[in-house]
Amino acid sequence: MSYCTRILEGIGTEIGFVASGATAYAVPVVISKKYEHMISDEQLVIIHDTHYPSTLFLGVLRKLTRYEPFLRERVRTVYVDYPELISESELYTFTNVVALLYAELDTKEGVAHECIHAPFPGSKVYLVERGEYLSKFLRVNNALEVGVHKFSDWVLPLDPKYLTYHVGVFGATGTGKSRLIKALIDEILKKTDYSVIVFDHTGVDYVPFYRDYVVPSDTIKISPPLIASVIAKLANLSWSTYGDYLEITCMEYVTGGKRSSKQVQLQSICREVNNGIVLGGCWSKKKFIEKLTANITNLGGRRATARKAELFIDYYLDDSFFDSLNQRVLPPKYIVEKALRERLVVVDLSRDRELAIKQAIVKDVMEEVWRLVKEYQRPVKVGIVIDEAQNYVSEEWSICGDVIETTVREGRKWQYFVILASQRVARDIRPSVRANLGTVFFSRLQATGDLRELGGYLDLGGVTEASLAQLGTREFFVAGLMNPLRRPILIKVREVS
Ligand SMILES: Nc1ncnc2c1ncn2[C@@H]1O[C@H](COP(=O)(O)OP(=O)(O)OP(=O)(O)O)[C@@H](O)[C@H]1O
Ligand SMILES: [Mg+2]
């Protein structure tokens, strides 16, 4: 018995045959009466054509359609006038489906190729019920495994080589995006030597799973210009009038007016943090207002400008804001070094309420990784997870939008990648970022038009919004570079708890 025949006997049931009109892309299949009920869209099939004895065609079923030769939609039948007759008469129903060809499996070499042949009419079609047979042909080194093909239980091997082309996860709320990313993080930690920094926007998606690796965001330092913009925003002071004064004051506050002292201060903090001692700074509302008003007057501002700053900061910002700045003793460098040492850091951003501060932390940490790249000129092997990405890199301007965009455009060479998740594609993610996501997982989508958006960058192989609407929790299509078949395969994400 040939190897090819052995596979056909083991892989699953023979369900039908190829009809007329096959191309190397799409193959019409007629389903045998006995198996019509077993068939649904997204199942995998193998087609065997005796003209190519050592090749098996692998396809995905789409556009399942039921027919009846006499009940044609545009032809008047007797049942229009006598609908009760339909239960008494015999109907000649049959089922056709299209198999979209994804690969040709070479049974001699045990490898998969692009499809270049069209199977002849009459070729036999087998349902893939035991997906493990496919693993012999679609081998991936150190494959990341986050789930199985929904119908065949084939563990889809995701190629970690393409992580550096970045990953997007999209789906309506509750579809399981965060759990899918959790599965991906675990696989990355197990199968690769990348370090991962997770920004947990709400503190409920990743923090509970990785308690030993959590750093509360309100312990992370933010740079003086970013403190200035946060104060302006919270105190309702216009940036055009107060921006310079605030930046100067914050910078002086941190450095004591001298650049070198900042470096000394940073070094001592790092040393203390590494020794397990965390020291606070010396921010206080009273002192800050004094310094700011003095600066405004000394730098030629009007008395009214200084008075307004004093009143507004006093009114809108309470002492706890300045106290919280005192808790911020960990420089972003510490987060990156910790991630490189321990392979994982989860930044609990729920500890900061202000979105501007959360964005500032993402920016500072991601820029710190770039600083390392520039300093050492060698790959850093770091992945950044940004869930709820609509808050960080949407089409509107954000503090950290540019550094995320730079990473997505230029990170690959330095093995510095990003995993983004959000409910929507358009609007939630900048066009230049979403167009650079090499691998995309998508489930039921929030907005019509989002699938079309994805279709602009990926071959969606005929997946329609109607097919997405049917998906349940944990069901995602995966398309793009990490999927060895590249075109969408429907997976059920493994149990993550
Ligand atoms: N792989 C999984 N294993 C176990 N439970 C899951 C899995 N995926 C989803 N769930 C269940 O569905 C719920 C929602 O999942 P998750 O939080 O990942 O969705 P989401 O798409 O990130 O939603 P949101 O857009 O609101 O953040 C989880 O709390 C969990 O109960
Ligand atoms: Mg989520």
Query: Is residue 141 domain-resident?
Result: no
Q: In this structure, are 284 and 338 located in the same domain? A: no
Q: How far is the CA of 88 from the centre of ligand 1 (A)?
A: 48
Same domain for 185 and 37, yes or no, is no
* Ligand 1 mutation pick, 148, 169, 170, 178, max ligand atoms within 8 A of CB: 178
Q: Quick check: CB of 174 below 6 Å from ligand 1?
A: yes
Question: How many separate domains does the chain show?
Answer: 3
Q: Is 493 in the pocket of ligand 1 (CB under 6 A)?
A: yes
Q: Which CATH number covers residue 186?
A: 3.40.50.300
In a domain, 344, yes or no: yes
Instruction: Determine whether the shortest distance from the Cβ of 423 to ligand 1 is under 6 A.
Output: yes
178 and 76, same structural domain? no
Ligand 1 centroid from CA 208, angstroms:
14
446 CA to middle of ligand 2, Å? 13
Query: Pick from 75, 110, 135: which residue ends a domain?
Result: 135
Q: Are residues 369 and 452 in the same domain?
A: yes
Does ligand 1 lie within 6 Å of residue 474's CB atom? Answer: yes
User: Are 275 and 238 within one domain?
Assistant: yes
Q: How far apart are CA 274 and CA 266, in angstroms?
A: 12
- The answer to whether the CB of 121 falls within 8 A of the CB of 51 is no
Query: Is 260 near ligand 1, meaning CB less than 6 Å away?
Result: no
| Pair (210, 350) in one structural domain | yes
Output the CA 82–ligand 2 centroid distance in Å: 53
Say if residue 204 is in the same domain as residue 240: no
Residues 14, 35 share a domain: yes
What residues make up the domain containing 22?
Answer: 3-135
The total of other beta-carbon atoms located within 10 Å of residue 103's CB is 21
469 assigned to some structural domain: yes
Q: Do 344 and 435 have their domain in common?
A: yes
In a domain, residue 72? The reply is: yes
Residue with tokens 């556009």: 63
Ligand nearest to the CA of 473: 1
Indicate the angle between helix axes 259-274 and 332-342, nearest 10 degrees: 40
Helix/strand/coil (H/E/C) assignment for every residue in 465-477: HHHHHCCCCCEEE
Q: What is the pLDDT of residues 188-209, one digit of tens each?
A: 999 999 999 999 999 999 999 9
Q: Whose CA is nearest to atom 10 of ligand 1?
A: 176
Residues 153, 256: one domain?
no
pTM for this model (two decimals): 0.90
Ligand at shortest distance from the CA of 423: 1
Tell me the three-class secondary structure of the chain, residue by residue. Answer: CCHHHHHHHHHCCEEEEECCCCCCCEEEEEECHHHHHHCCCCCEEEEECCCCCCEEEEEEEEEEEEECCCCCCCCCCHHHHCHHHHHCCCCCCEEEEEEEEEEEEECCCCEEECCCCCCCCCCEEEECCCCHHHHCCCCCCCCECCEEECCCCCECCECHHHHHHCEEEECCCCCCHHHHHHHHHHHHHHHCCCEEEEEECCCCCCHHHCHHHEEEHHHECCCHHHHHHHHHHHCCCCHHHHHHHHHHHHHHHHHCCCHHHHHHHHHHHHHHHHCCCCCCCCCCHHHHHHHHHHHHHHCCCCHHHHHHHHHHHHHHCCHHHHHHHHHCCECHHHHHHHHHHHCEEEEEHHHCCCHHHHHHHHHHHHHHHHHHHHHHCCCCCEEEEECCHHHCCCCCCCCCHHHHHHHHHHCHHHCEEEEEEECCCCCCCCHHHHCCCCEEEECCCCCCCHHHHHHCCCCCCCCCHHHHHCCCCCEEEEEECCCCCCCCEEEEECCCC
Tens digit of pLDDT for each residue in 439-467? 999 999 887 788 888 888 888 888 888 88
- Nearest ligand 1 atom to the CA of 183 is 1
* C-alpha–C-alpha distance, residues 94 and 26, integer Å: 19
Ligand 2 geometric centre to CA of 253 (Å) = 38
Domain assignment of residue 162, yes or no: yes
Ligand 1 atom with the smallest distance to the CA of 474 is 8
State whether 22 and 131 are in the same domain. yes
Q: Looking at the structure, do residues 343 and 460 belong to the same domain, yes or no?
A: yes
Mutate which of 473, 492, 494 to test ligand 1's pocket (most atoms within 8 Å of Cβ)?
473
pLDDT digit of tens for each residue in the chain (497 aa)?
A: 678 888 888 899 999 999 999 999 999 999 999 999 999 999 999 999 999 989 999 999 999 999 988 888 898 988 889 988 888 888 888 999 999 999 999 999 999 999 999 999 999 999 999 999 999 899 999 999 999 999 999 999 999 999 999 999 999 999 999 999 999 999 999 999 999 999 999 999 999 999 999 999 999 998 888 899 889 988 999 999 999 999 999 998 887 755 444 444 444 444 444 443 334 458 889 999 999 999 999 999 999 999 999 999 999 998 888 888 888 989 999 999 999 999 999 999 999 988 989 999 999 999 999 999 999 999 999 999 999 999 999 999 888 999 999 999 999 999 999 999 999 998 899 999 999 999 999 999 887 788 888 888 888 888 888 888 889 999 999 999 999 999 999 999 999 98
Extract the tokens encoding 264.
Answer: 């000394």
Rounded to whole angstroms, how far apart are CA atoms 311 and 228? Answer: 17
